[in-house]
Amino acid sequence: MRDAFHEDLDSINQTLVEMSNLVSGAMSRATTALLTANLELAEEVIAEDDRVDAIQHELDNKTLDVMARQQPVASDLRNLVTSLRMSADFERMGDFAHHVARIARMRYPNKAVPEELAPTIQAMGDVAVALINKVTGLLQSRDIKVALEVERDDDEMDKLHRKLFEALLDEKWPHGTETAIDMTLLGRYYERCADHTVSISRRVYFLVTGEYAEKQS
């Protein structure tokens, strides 16, 4: 019974890794679609969001089934409950990639991002993908040093978010209200995606140590 239970845990964790890989690819392609006005790529990202949603539903159902069959306690129960929360994190991150792609589609054939802000948006996309990839490795290694690194790395996203808002608040902003709204939403999507990677890293830290990680500076 214990061997079967641990096989279930391994399978659940592997599915979380699969979700992480899918979300990483989606966010990377969504950013490319956004900055290059690539409608076909944007449509791919939008369509594939359903796959992430379906995997989440399947994973949650499996996790609840394991909980009902095995009636785990202590660390085993904590593992399963945490898996439910992490699958929700990944589902939301997939939604943010979907939202980025929708802005690209909505503004096609024009580029949604003004030329002078493209480097900032590209950097936000790069940081988001790097954080997701680090979380993918963390799910496999359970290395608490990596868990702490994720929170420190998130500071770069916060800096980029502030830089974007400084441009939007400039009295000489030349691009109108519609573009300002797009940039505000994009900044929020990337920033929230990064926040979810921090949430996952904290959950892994708690699973390994039984303690909550202190905020890194």
For residues 53-82, average pLDDT: 92
> Which residue type is seen at 167?
A
pLDDT score at 5: 83
Taking 90 as the threshold, does the pLDDT of residue 74 lie above it? Answer: no
pLDDT score at 216: 58
CATH number corresponding to 2-209: 1.20.58.220
Closest CA to 100 of 185, 192, 38: 185
- Averaged confidence pLDDT in the chain: 94
Confidence of residue 179 (pLDDT cuts 50, 70, 90): very high
pLDDT score at 35: 98
Taking 70 as the threshold, does the pLDDT of residue 177 lie above it? Answer: yes
Instruction: Give residue limits of the domains in the chain.
Output: 2-209
Closest CA to 125 of 141, 112, 106, 109: 112
For residues 200-211, average pLDDT: 91
pLDDT score at 43: 97
Taking only the tens place, the pLDDT of each residue in 140-176 is: 999 999 999 999 999 999 999 999 999 999 989 999 9
Confidence of residue 212 (pLDDT cuts 50, 70, 90): confident
Q: DSSP per residue over the chain, as a string?
A: -HHHHHHHHHHHHHHHHHHHHHHHHHHHHHHHHHHHT-HHHHHHHHHHHHHHHHHHHHHHHHHHHHHHHH---HHHHHHHHHHHHHHHHHHHHHHHHHHHHHHHHHHTTS-SS-GGGHHHHHHHHHHHHHHHHHHHHHHHH--HHHHHHHHHHHHHHHHHHHHHHHHHT-TT--SHHHHHHHHHHHHHHHHHHHHHHHHHHHHHHHHHHSSPPPPP-
